[in-house]
Amino acid sequence: MTAQITAGAVTARRRSTGSTSTMARHDYDLPADYEQRVQEGTMSEWYTHERAKRQALRQDTQFEKEYTGLRGRIERLLDAASETVDIER
């Protein structure tokens, strides 16, 4: 319990001092244009879309079915590509 309070106090202190030396831990695969999005101020929108996508994937939705189906097709295409499969001639 003490560690949680201490960690919270450190986080609050970082926010109050404006320290950006360390980024919060997360499990997002950040987009390739991350730096540009930060400068434009559109990362909040990206995070919102990413959270909505993750929620839809956890639930039994049409999006989840289409997304996993598309992902499966792409993986099969990559497996079948001549660059990824050894061809004996």
The tens digit of pLDDT for each residue in 13-59 reads 445 445 455 666 777 778 788 888 888 888 888 888 888 888 888 88
3-state secondary structure of 18: coil
What ranges do the domains of the chain cover?
Answer: 33-83
Give the dihedral sign, CA 77/78/83/88: negative
Segment 60-71, tens digit of pLDDT: 888 888 888 898
Query: pLDDT band at residue 9, thresholds of 50, 70 and 90?
Result: very low
pTM value is 0.45
Residue 88 CA to residue 78 CA, distance in Å, equals 18
